[in-house]
Amino acid sequence: MRLNLVVFLFFSTRILVAQDNYPQDAFQSPLEIPLILAGTFGELRSDHFHSGIDIKTQQREGLPVMAVADGTVTRIKVSLWGYGKVIYVAHPNGYTSVYGHLKKFGPELEEYVKKVQYDKQSYEVEMFPDYGELKVTKGDVIAYSGNTGGSAGPHLHFEIRSSVSEKPTNPLLYGYEVRDATNPTVLGLFGYPLSDGALINQSAKTTQINFTKQPDGSLLADKVSALGTIGFGINSFDRQDLAANKNGVYSVKQTVNGRVYSEFDFETFSFGETRYINTLIDYPYFYKNRQRIQKCFKEPYNHLDIYKSLYNNGKIDIEEGMSYQVELLISDIEGNITKLIIPVEGKREPQKVAKDDNRTDDFIIADKPNNFDLGAAKVYFPANTFYEDFYINLKKGTDTIAIHDNSVAAHRNFTISFDPSKYPLEERKQLFIAHLDEDLRPSYSKTYKRDGSFTTRTRTLGTYTLVRDSVAPTIRPKNFKEKQWLSNYSYLSLDISDDLSGIDTYSATLNGEWILMEYEPKTNTITYNFDDKILNTNECELKVTVTDNVGNSNTFTSTFFRK
Residues of the chain with pLDDT > 70, as a percent, come to 96
348: closest CA among 320, 381, 382? 320
CATH 2.70.70.10 assigned to 37-173: yes
Q: Is 17 exposed, middle or buried (0-12, 13-18, 19+ CB in 10 A)?
A: exposed
What is the predicted pLDDT for the residue at 141? 97
- In sequence order, the β-bridge partners of residue 462 are 403
What is the predicted pLDDT for the residue at 21? 87
For residue 1, name the pLDDT band (cuts at 50, 70, 90): very low
**pLDDT, tens only, 355-384:** 999 999 999 999 999 999 999 999 999 999
For residue 15, name the pLDDT band (cuts at 50, 70, 90): low
Q: Are 386 and 403 in contact (CB under 8 A)?
A: no
Location of each CATH 2.60.220.30 domain in the chain: 362-468
**pLDDT, tens only, 494-533:** 999 999 999 999 999 999 999 999 999 999 999 999 988 7
**pLDDT, tens only, 199-249:** 999 999 999 999 999 999 999 999 999 999 999 999 999 999 888 999 999
For residue 151, name the pLDDT band (cuts at 50, 70, 90): very high
What is the predicted pLDDT for the residue at 19? 66
What is the predicted pLDDT for the residue at 531? 85
pTM: 0.92
User: How far, in Å, CA of 22 to CA of 12, rounded?
Assistant: 16
**pLDDT, tens only, 115-137:** 999 999 999 999 999 999 999 99
Location of each CATH 2.70.70.10 domain in the chain: 37-173
The amino acid present at 31, given as its one-letter code, is: L
238: closest CA among 185, 285, 192? 185
User: How far, in Å, CA of 337 to CA of 340, rounded?
Assistant: 10
What is the predicted pLDDT for the residue at 493? 96
Structural fold of domain 474-561: Immunoglobulin-like (2.60.40)
Q: What mean pLDDT comes out for the span 435-443?
A: 95
75: closest CA among 156, 163, 170, 144? 163
The amino acid present at 395, given as its one-letter code, is: K
Torsion of CA 67, 70, 74, 75, to 10 degrees: 0
Which CATH number is 362-468 given?
Answer: 2.60.220.30
For residue 2, name the pLDDT band (cuts at 50, 70, 90): very low
In angstroms, the Cα distances linking 171 to 13, 94, 161, 543 are: 18, 14, 9, 46
The whole-chain average pLDDT of the chain stands at: 94
Whether the per-residue pLDDT at 6 is higher than 60: the answer is no
Neighbours of 395 (CB within 10 A): 12
**pLDDT, tens only, 325-346:** 999 999 999 999 999 999 999 9
**pLDDT, tens only, 56-90:** 999 999 999 999 999 999 999 999 999 999 999 99
Give every strand in the sheet of 453-458, ordered side by side: 370-373, 377-381, 414-418, 453-458, 448-450
SS3 label, residue 313: helix
Extract the runs of DSSP E, i.e. beta strands, from 210-283: 211-213, 219-221, 224-237, 251-256, 259-265
What is the predicted pLDDT for the residue at 537? 79
What is the predicted pLDDT for the residue at 139? 97
The DSSP secondary structure of 62-130, one letter per residue, reads --EEE-SSSEEEEEEEE-SSTTSEEEEEE-TTSEEEEEESEEEE-HHHHHHHHHHHHHHT-S-EEE-PP
Neighbours of 212 (CB within 10 A): 9
In angstroms, the Cα distances linking 534 to 117, 436, 514, 530 are: 17, 47, 13, 8
**Antiparallel, parallel or unpaired: β 337-346 and 219-221:** parallel
What is the predicted pLDDT for the residue at 180? 94
| Residue 285 parent element (H or E) | helix 283-289
What is the predicted pLDDT for the residue at 14? 54
- Mark 167-194 as b/e (b = at least 16 C-beta within 10 Å): ebbbbbbbebebebeebbebebbbbbbb
Location of each CATH 2.60.40.1220 domain in the chain: 474-561
